[in-house]
Amino acid sequence: MDRGEILRFFIESRETTLEPSNNAFQEPQMKTLLQIRSSMFSAGGQSSQLAQQFVDGWRAANPDGQVITRDIGAQPVPHLTAERFQAFLAQPETRTPEQQAVAAYSDALIDELRQADEIVLGLPMYNFGVPSTLKAYFDHIARSGVTFKYTEKGPQGLITGKKAYVFAARDEIDLALARRDDRSDALGECGCGSHGGLLDSQAAAARGCVRRPIH
Ligand SMILES: Cc1cc2nc3c(=O)[nH]c(=O)nc-3n(C[C@H](O)[C@H](O)[C@H](O)COP(=O)(O)O)c2cc1C
């Protein structure tokens, strides 16, 4: 402990003896990482493996941290339908049991986002776009009045202060997307930057991944 730290300890001890939350020696808060896999090959996908390297490094740097894994390749998010959307819009006290289940599912996805300090997304390209289940995921977390709101200046994200890392994998067959840089295609296509910038994101991309044989 250097002189400055000793001095700060005494000053803060005098001022805040009954306030442990202000204690200079309080344990750092446990960090949470949300790992989202969207490859149809689940953990075996190239994007999942790239992201996993990040997760392994994160675990080493945050031994007390928790990692929440949301594998939407293994457990796809259903497409948004009129019924599901109505469930989001309905007032909680008027929801039918079916609507409650739909809203609870969406709430659980949103809670994971809220819990996370950082988010890592494995992002494959399938047929010139993001996996459809990832789009469905974004359709289930983009809820007006919950995760974003409309303002005079356009939509504004309500879940802020998160850092997102995107690990994108694809062949070189990217046509229109080839005209964009890796960051914008990953973010623009997956929707991280939508609804007023929900996430502060960084992206890494893997090009030329070997296409798996499809039988
Ligand atoms: C059904 C399917 C469609 C694909 N479409 C494209 C494509 O349009 N452009 C491209 O560059 N790569 C395409 N690829 C290659 C994948 O992007 C590449 O294999 C990548 O590694 C997939 O990520 P994953 O291994 O994490 O699932 C496609 C692969 C599959 C299986």
Buried b (16+ CB within 10 A) or exposed e, 130-161: bbebbbbbbbbbbbeeebbeeeeeebebbbee
How confident is the model over 93-109, as pLDDT tens digits?
A: 999 999 999 999 999 99
Spacing, Cα 27 to ligand 1 middle (Å) = 44
Q: Provide CB contacts within 8 A for 190, sequence distance 6+.
A: 121, 123, 130, 134, 138, 166
- Mean pLDDT taken over the chain: 79
How confident is the model over 20-49, as pLDDT tens digits?
A: 445 555 666 799 999 999 999 999 999 999
- Domain regions of the chain by residue span: 8-14+31-82+110-209
**Domain 8-14+31-82+110-209 CATH class label:** alpha beta
Predicted local confidence at residue 51, as pLDDT:
95
Q: How confident is the model at residue 117 (pLDDT cuts 50, 70, 90)?
A: very high
Q: Is the CB of 125 under 6 A from ligand 1?
A: yes
Give pTM, 2 decimals.
0.79
Spacing, Cα 70 to ligand 1 middle (Å) = 20
Q: Is the CB of 215 under 6 A from ligand 1?
A: no
Q: Is the CB of 51 under 6 A from ligand 1?
A: no
Task: Give Dmax (Cα) for the chain.
Answer: 71
Q: Is the CB of 12 under 6 A from ligand 1?
A: no
Spacing, Cα 166 to ligand 1 middle (Å) = 16
Spacing, Cα 124 to ligand 1 middle (Å) = 6
